[in-house]
Amino acid sequence: MAEKIIMPKLGNTVESSVILSWKVKPGDTVTKDTILCEIETDKATMEVPAGVDGTVLALLKREGDDVPVLEPIAIVGAPEEVWENAADSSQANTASIPISASTSTVFEQEKEATMLQEANGKEPHSSPRARMAMHNLGVDLGAIDKGSGPGGRILEKDVIEASIDEKSNQEVSMQEPPIQGAFGKILQATQTQTIKEEPPTHEKTEFQSIPLIGIRKRIAGRMHDSVQTTAQYTEHSSADAEHLVALRARLKAQENPNIAHITIGDLVLTAVIKILPEFPEFNAHLEGNELRLFKPIHLGVAVDTPRGLMVPVIRNAQDLSLLGVSMEVKRLAKACQSGRADPASLSGSTFTVTNLGAFGVEWFTPIVNTPETAILGVCTIRPTPVKTDKGIENRMRIGLSLTVDHQVIDGAYAARFLRRLSEIIADIDIMPFSL
């Protein structure tokens, strides 16, 4: 009997996933462990196994489609089987539902089920993100007859589309009615003549339209929400990096490859971990009117990937050695860049560090990774004229850009954090830490 393979639900907040690529085609024989496709959620890239043995009878979605969770994406059954009595399955057998030999019939049955639900007086259900969008955009639930999710579930994108349609209708209704009578005909003729006399317009500009989906869409939403809901400001400073550079050179000369690959960024992360307990408001979340101060340090590290910015988390960073921090950063970064990061590793950070020093950036304004209260930007190391006992000298200094939420962190407190961090970095070669 044919099985309907549905888009898995990978977390409570995931409403849909994008099919990046199909790994099979109709007619292929698969086992339950065969990877059918690669999908991208709003957090990471995952693989979807068949979950059953059989032959791929049909692929119901195309590459690039943004598919709501629990919606069918493929049919697996016996060779040349007619799709009848296929089981509704998320990689596991459940109650049987009939499926005909066409994709359209699958969705006709779901439509009928939704219509039956509405006929019984039940309101269409909506996702938490959809309800939040309704509140933010001022969209009435009654304005959406049916959502695009399974069983008519209203999703965030349905609310956005309803908001756009509502604005379009308002614009149409605001247009002035046509003037009737002879004067109206004269005015219309004048307007027509004016249009004809206008110079030709420029040729259309060519462009490529790329929808924001998956991780890129989530980044856009989080960045927008961050600046809209917080009072952010940035302080810039720098630290003497002479000892930092010298220590990096000594580590690089070690025979142990893991020690040799400890980077400037790893050393700065270790310095941050060292001082965070001294500034508890920095290792915190602001949830509404409640400030939550954390004892464990779950350090977020921004990683540049082909799919966009990702922030994997070093759990309990305070318990790790310098080498442990370095190896964990590399493990997490590799997983993100290859698209194999565990979604659980991409949430729960209490403080975040982002490093653009390798690109030669001298100063920048990082955006707080809400609900955190602060984020540190690490900048490039460059020779800088400094007044010393010997006069004006050029010394290597590393730039530091600290963005904080002014709702909980004042300017002087942020300045003290930067000053303390600069002190640790300046004397990092004598800082007590273990490899």
Query: Residue 110: pLDDT band by 50, 70, 90 thresholds?
Result: very low
Residue 420 region, left (φ>0) first, then alpha (ψ -120 to 50), else beta? alpha
pLDDT in tens, 168-221: 566 555 555 555 555 555 556 555 555 555 566 666 778 888 877 777 777 888
- Point out which residues pair with 22 in neighbouring strands: 37
* Confidence category of residue 43, pLDDT binned at 50, 70, 90: low
Residues 6+ apart with CB under 8 A from 167: none
- Could you tell me the pLDDT band of residue 435, with boundaries at 50, 70 and 90? confident
Distance CA 421, CA 283 (A): 14
Contact 32, 75 (CB under 8 A): no
Given this model, what pLDDT does residue 97 score?
A: 31
With CA atoms as reference, report the closest residue to 77 among 8, 30, 22: 30
- Dist. CA 419–CA 37, nearest whole Å: 50
Is the model's pLDDT at 116 over the cut of 50? Answer: no
Q: Domain locations in the chain? A: 3-119, 128-169, 214-430
**Residue-wise pLDDT tens digits, 60-106:** 999 888 899 899 999 999 988 877 544 444 333 333 333 333 333 33
How far is Cα 390 from Cα 141, in angstroms, rounded to an integer?
Answer: 72
What does the pLDDT look like over 249-263, one tens digit per residue? 999 999 999 999 999
Q: Which two tokens stand for residue 130?
A: 């959809």
d(CA 351, CA 372): 6
- Which pLDDT band, with edges at 50, 70 and 90, does 132 fall under? low
Tell me what pLDDT residue 105 has: 35
Lowest mean pLDDT among 172-176, 223-227, 283-287, 294-298: 172-176
> What's CA 12's distance to the chain center, in Å?
15
Output the pLDDT for position 342: 82
pLDDT for 357 beyond 90: yes
Q: What is the mean pLDDT of residues 329-347?
A: 89
Q: What is the pLDDT of residues 272-291, one digit of tens each?
A: 999 999 999 999 999 989 99
Helix axes 242-252, 411-426, angle to 10 degrees: 50
CA–CA distance from 328 to each of 44, 206, 260, 432 (Å)?
A: 18, 45, 15, 20
Give the mean pLDDT of 319-330: 96
Tell me the C-alpha distance between 293 and 48, whole Å. Answer: 38
Q: Which residue has the higher pLDDT, 27 or 138?
A: 27
Four-way CATH pick for 3-119: 2.40.50.100, 2.40.30.10, 3.30.470.10, 3.20.20.70 = 2.40.50.100
SS (H, E, C) 239-299: EECHHHHHHHHHHHCCCCHHHHCCCHHHHHHHHHHHHHHHCHHHCEEEECCEEEECCCCCE
Is the previous residue joined to 371 through a cis bond, with omega within 30 degrees of 0?
yes
Q: In whole angstroms, what is the distance from residue 328 CA to residue 161 CA?
A: 42
**Which of 114-118, 210-214, 247-251, 297-301 comes out lowest in average pLDDT?**
114-118
- For the chain, percent of residues with pLDDT exceeding 70: 77
pLDDT score recorded for residue 152: 75
Mean pLDDT value across the chain: 82
Mean pLDDT (whole number) for 380-398:
93
Please give the pLDDT value at position 169: 63
CATH superfamily of 214-430: Chloramphenicol acetyltransferase-like domain (3.30.559.10)
pLDDT of residue 13: 65
Q: Left if phi > 0, otherwise alpha if psi is -120 to 50, otherwise beta: which for 359?
A: alpha
Q: How many Å apart are CA 19 and CA 68, to the nearest integer?
A: 11
How far apart, in Å, are the Cα atoms of 340 and each of 43, 195, 344? 11, 57, 12
β-pairing verdict for 374-388 and 351-355: parallel
- Model confidence, pTM: 0.66
8 A C-beta contact, residue 54 and residue 76: yes
